[in-house]
Amino acid sequence: MLNLFSKILKTQSTLVLVTEEDVRQADVMVVGKKIKSHVKRLFKGSLAIRQIDAGSDNACEQELVALSNSYYDVERFGIHFVASPRHADLLMVTGPVTRNMAEAVKRAYRATPDPKIVVAVGDDAIDGGIFKDSYAVLGGVEAILPVQYCIPGNPPTAKTILFSLLNILEDVHQKTLSQK
């Protein structure tokens, strides 16, 4: 398992492409059951996610919060949002990295135990979005952290994030199989 995560950390960031048609046709329960089986296999039943706001406009955060509402209820699929990066397996970073938040984001990354997966959520986190040329912004998350996966959108919907999480877990699973 350690080899898998070392490979993830060495892998360049991957844009998780999800078409609107895929998202429209995807049933939350079907996607959730697939996520649950991957979480059970890869993370022994519980995937802990720490969301970090690097300076966003809160649009992506609202979509991430929606994942915990009664419609999506990602807890039933083994996904838990945690309050501390020390308990996280996966970091979801939203927003462009502002100069004021850069050190806090780096600290959260260092506090997350290895092996860790970093996901940039939203266009702002990927490349700075509409804020990229601002004096107050350093750019996307990749400017200060190694990012393995990117979920595009401004903001991506909760369903898109859920479907993208499935794609990320499937990719991690494929990397596990290729190392055996």
**pTM for the structure as a whole:** 0.82
Element (H, E) at 157: none
Burial category of 105 from C-beta neighbours within 10 Å (exposed 0-12, middle 13-18, buried 19 and up):
buried
Q: Residues 91-134: pLDDT tens digits?
A: 999 999 999 999 999 999 999 998 889 999 999 999 888 888 88
Give me the chain's average pLDDT, please. 86
The residue to which tokens 């996904």 are assigned: 79
Eight-state DSSP code of residue 6: H
Residue 3 to residue 61: CA distance in whole angstroms: 32
Residue whose C-alpha is closest to residue 165's, from 50, 32, 54, 57: 32
Give the domain range for residue 119.
2-179
| Residue 87 CA: distances (Å) to CA of 31, 46, 49, 115 | 25, 11, 8, 12
Task: Report the CATH number at residue 100.
Answer: 3.40.50.12280
| Domains in the chain, number | 1
**pLDDT tens, 64-74?**
999 999 999 99
